[in-house]
Structures are given as C-alpha cells and as structure tokens.
Copies of this chain bind each other. A is one copy, B any other.
C-alpha cells in the first residue's frame, strides 16, 4: 500500500479510500491509484484491514462438523457456503470426528483466526466452553443437533417426525417386530429417531422389544454386522429401521449378502445414492442437508447483523420416499 501511495503520489489515506470504494475522492486521483494498484499487482490485506476497522469483521466464519467427507455434512457445508458467499464471507472448516477435545481445539483455532461466527454440529458431551467464545463476541449457531449446557440457535431435521413416519410405514404393512439400528446413543439425532420409533410403536399398541434396539459404533461403522446379528438371532425382526445413512448402506449390504432383501422390510433415515436402483428400491426418509446449512447460515448472519432475540430452534421437514423395501409385508 505504501508503494502504491508513492507511485500514485498520494497519501496512504487516499489509497485506503480508493481501495475501499470511498466515493469522496477526486476521480483523477482515484484513477492514478487504480493504475498504480494494477501496475504493482497490489493486493488488499483484509486481515490487516479488519484489525484496524471499527466493526472488526474478518469476513470469515467457521464450521465444525463431524466429518466434512460425510455426504450429509458435505451438503450442509455447501448450503452454508452459498449463503456466506452472498455476504462475501469465506468458510473455514474442520472435522471433529465426534471427539470432544478435537471440537474444543477446532473452535479455539477458529476463534484465534478471528472468525465472525461459528456454525457447529456439537459432539456428545457439553458445549459449555462455547459460552466463553460467545462472550468474546463470536456468534454461534448449531446445526444437525442442539448444543448441551449452552443455548444457541439450532437448525435440525424433523427427526422424531421422520422416524415416526418410517416406522408407521412398516407398522401399516403389518410388521410388529421392527428393529431399530441407530448411531451411538449419546447422539441427539440417534435419541430423537429412537423416540420417533417408540412413538410409532406406542401409537399402534406394540410393545418395544429391547432386543431389537441396537446402536452401532461411531459413524455407523458396524451397521452391517448388527443387521446380520439381528437377523441371525432367534425370533428375528421382520423389518429394519436404520436411523442414519451409513447404517442404511451397511444394512442393505447385509440384507443382500444374506439374500433376505425381499423378505425383510427396510426403511432408512437419510437418502443414499442408487437407493432407487437397488432391488427392492430402498424406502427412505430423506433429509434436506443443504437446506439445513442454508438456514443455519441465515440465522448466523441475522445475529451478525445485530439480531438479538432468544435462541431459536428451526426444524427442517423430512420426506418419506416410498420405493419398495419398506412396503414388503411380513412373512
């Protein structure tokens, strides 16, 4: 900037004004500055700028999710990026791997880079540490699940309603032994979907069989193994409700490997690619991860532009997509 000022023969202040699009500057002078900028290949340094600026915005926000490579969170990420882009803001991202210390490290690393706001998909455990971040002026919005011991805006899917619809679908076909395979019980989404499962059973007067409620390792790792074990047991289920995308994929593999795909009904939570091509095609409750991201970013930017109401919880609708696997009758 100093070089630009020298070359254009103006003061630093003038260069700053031109670079920031301040119109109260002599056009001829502005032109000289613009030329010098082009000639020198000068680049405005936003970090220095925001250091001195009154509003102190860094024009970047942070995102902490379980895993950026999980298609669900990848879509959430994209939804957030789209909104951020409209605000000329960039997104810094990190994967917590559901690991509490990693979540803390990440949020602190993001704060240290002075992000204006944070969108977090909270790990199990509590997020009370976020209170300190917020006290420092960083706005925080939760995504996919609410925080614990820390109240903030949150955008989530209609987990209870979706799970209920999925299980209702199976009950309507006459199934009574319906297994629930969910992610770790500590997870909000897992709990909510289990609640929906129970609600549906209750509505139909079906008693829950604890032997049919199973949880996988982190990230739904052993979904296929659990499905196998359930089906190999005495008095096996006649239908499966898998409460997460990776578990759904694992269960479909297990059903096909065992040759049971036409005998055991199956509904999954979260849509997966090729679900309509598998035979039978897979009935799912589809979430709208991109909309979840979009909405979360909108809430964040509202806060950043001064909104100061109480924490809001936004529920994004889900949709039951009937394709066949969920409509198989019991034997």
Contact = CB atoms under 8 A, between A and B. Distances in A.
Interface of A: 41, 43-48, 50-51, 58-60, 67-71, 74-75, 77-78, 81, 85, 88, 90-95, 108-114, 132, 135-136, 249, 252-253, 256, 272-279, 290
Chain A interface SS verdict (over half):
mixed
Nearest to A70: B74
A256 B277 contact: yes
A74 B111 CA distance: 24
A252 B273 CA distance: 11
A276 B68 CA distance: 24
Contact of A71 (B74, B112, B132, B279): B74
A46 B249 contact: no
Contacts of A114: 45-47
A43 B136 contact: yes
Nearest to A62: B90
Given A114-B45, A274-B273, A90 B94 contact: yes
A94 B92 CA distance: 9
Contact of A69 (B43, B74, B88, B111): B74
B112 A60 contact: no
Contact of A113 (B47, B94, B253, B272): B47
B78 A90 contact: no
In the A-B complex, list the 3 residue pairs whose CB atoms are closest, starting with the nearest: A69-B78, A74-B74, A46-B112
Contacts of A74: 68-71, 74, 77
Contacts of A95: 78, 81
A273 to B, nearest CB: 5
B44 A112 contact: yes
A252 B277 contact: yes
Nearest to A71: B71
A79 to B, nearest CB: 8
Given A41-B135, A69-B78, A136-B43, A59 B113 contact: yes
A4 B41 CA distance: 40
Contacts of A279: 278-279
Contacts of A275: 274
A29 B50 CA distance: 32
B67 A78 contact: yes
B68 A81 contact: yes
27 contacts: A45-B114, A46-B113, A47-B47, A47-B114, A48-B51, A58-B113, A67-B78, A68-B78, A69-B71, A69-B78, A71-B74, A74-B74, A74-B77, A77-B93, A78-B95, A81-B93, A90-B109, A91-B94, A92-B93, A93-B93, A249-B274, A256-B277, A274-B274, A274-B275, A274-B277, A278-B279, A279-B279
